[in-house]
Amino acid sequence: MTQLTKPQIQQSAQLIEQSQRLVIVTHLSPDGDAMGSALGMSHWLRQMGKTQVQVIVPNPFPDFLHWMPGTDEVLDYEGNSQQANQYLQQADLIICTDFNEPKRIGCLGEQILNLSHTPKMMIDHHLQPMDFATVTISDPNSPSASELVYHLIMAIKEHLHFTQDLNMETATCLYTGMMTDTGNFSFNSNHAQMYDIIAHLVRIGIDKDAIYNQVFNAYSADRMRLMGYCLYQKMRIFPAYHTAFIFLDSKELKKFHFRSGDAEGIVNLPLQIKNIYYSCFMREDKVGPADAALAGGSEIKIKISLRSQGDRPVNLLAHDIFNGGGHKNAAGGEYYGPLPEAAQKFIEAYPNYFTQK
């Protein structure tokens, strides 16, 4: 159960009260929890009377999150770095949500570290948070950063005697993050506290069924066919280790008119097979301006996603082999080099990290 400390609440409340120009940043390839925690925070800050709140994402977020309230005003660093830098330089508070180290926001990370005099808050649920913020609110046991933002908001509200309830925009965004980071409450979801929060958000008036449909029933036909192709043609099964493995090169992606976000969820599909407890999905990607510094000259980036069920951690393999990380049952990383090399690395590594049970 998330329990914020008094100093965390006091310091956060003070930082927010003192600031006029706030910037919220979240991680590369933003997912539902990244957008939910960042946008949820921004809506609430506006409710608190802050008129200058800017959300900045390192690179674009997927189409299936464009319906979320406030996305029109989100600035994508890759396409608007000058404007984004201006916001950052003028900011008197930078709030970082859903990531634990500056590396996770690509070259934005360096910009933020350079602004050493600007106070920063980190609200995150990944293991081993780096100590770069003025206030660090980190709970790796929390299923989502959005849930942590909810706890922080409620605590600050009480601390400042702010009696107005969360508005619909805040509630909708926070719910979206809670829902997506738990696979619609199908993993990391045995926390009674989470359902108390959901009850509160539903009372505020969110339409949780509509949110589900907007996120999970909004695929393009191309993406649906890509999914079919993955399962029919590409899925390899390693039965001894209860493992499934799918990888896609750029030619295959092009054939299905791949767009950002189309791969979301494909990694989870093999877990529907009886006795498959581990799943790995890889796809080829291009190195963009946001992560060029990490690429070491390679133009190709392989994005790796790992999922598992139960007490079978995948974040160790993500960390050791693919310079990544994440949670026990959902982790990822990147490999800067050709796809066959990345695939080979996984095939060599998985028996050392996965179990035959």
CB 280 within 8 A of CB 246: yes
Q: Can you tell me which of 33, 78, 101, 147 binds Mn ion, judged by CB under 5 A?
A: 33
Distance CA 208, CA 198 (A): 9
Q: Which residue is nearest to Mn ion (CB)?
A: 33
* Distance between first and last Cα of the chain: 30
Nearest distance from C-beta of residue 38 to ligand 5GP, angstroms: 14
Which of ligand 5GP, Mn ion, none does residue 325 bind to, with CB < 5 to 8 Å depending on kind? ligand 5GP
CB of 125 to Mn ion, least distance (A): 6
The answer to whether 181 contacts Mn ion (rule: CB under 5 A) is yes
Would you say 33 or 284 has its CB closer to Mn ion? Answer: 33
Q: Is 262 in the site for ligand 5GP (CB under 6 A)?
A: no
CB nearer ligand 5GP, residue 69 or residue 102: 102
Q: What DSSP designation does 286 have?
A: E
For 320, what's the count of Cα atoms within 13 Å in the CB-facing half-sphere?
12
Number of Cβ atoms within 10 Å of the Cβ of 118: 18
Q: Which of 332, 336, 339, 354 binds ligand 5GP (CB under 6 A)?
A: 332
Instruction: Output the CA–CA distances (angstroms, integers) from residue 72 to 41, 65, 66, in the order listed.
Output: 16, 11, 8
345 binds ligand 5GP, rule: CB under 6 A: no
Between 33 and 262, whose beta carbon lies closer to Mn ion? 33
Kindly state the smallest distance separating residue 148's Cβ from Mn ion, in Å: 9
Pairing of strands 330-335, 300-308: antiparallel
Q: CA–CA separation, 336 vs 350, rounded Å?
A: 19
What mask, x for binding Mn ion by CB under 5 A, covers residues 135 to 154? ----------x---------
User: According to CB under 6 A, which one of 30, 32, 313, 325 is a site residue for ligand 5GP?
Assistant: 325
How many residues interact with ligand 5GP (rule CB under 6 A)? 13
Which x/- pattern, by CB under 6 A, does the window 19-48 give for ligand 5GP? ------------x-----------------
Q: Kindly indicate which of the ranges 13-21, 71-79, 166-174, 318-326 contains the residues binding ligand 5GP, using the contact rule CB under 6 A.
A: 318-326
Classify residue 112 as exposed, middle or buried by CB count within 10 Å of its CB (0-12, 13-18, 19+): buried
Please identify which residue in 326, 329, 336, 353 interacts with ligand 5GP, judged by CB under 6 A: 326
User: Counting contacts by CB under 5 A, is residue 98 touching Mn ion?
Assistant: yes
HSE-CB of 339 using CA atoms within 13 angstroms = 15
Q: How far apart are CA 43 and CA 48, in angstroms?
A: 9
Give the full edge-to-edge strand order of the sheet including 21-26. 75-76, 52-57, 21-26, 93-97, 120-124, 135-138
Contacts with ligand 5GP, residue ranges (CB under 6 A): 31, 104, 126, 305, 324-327, 330-334
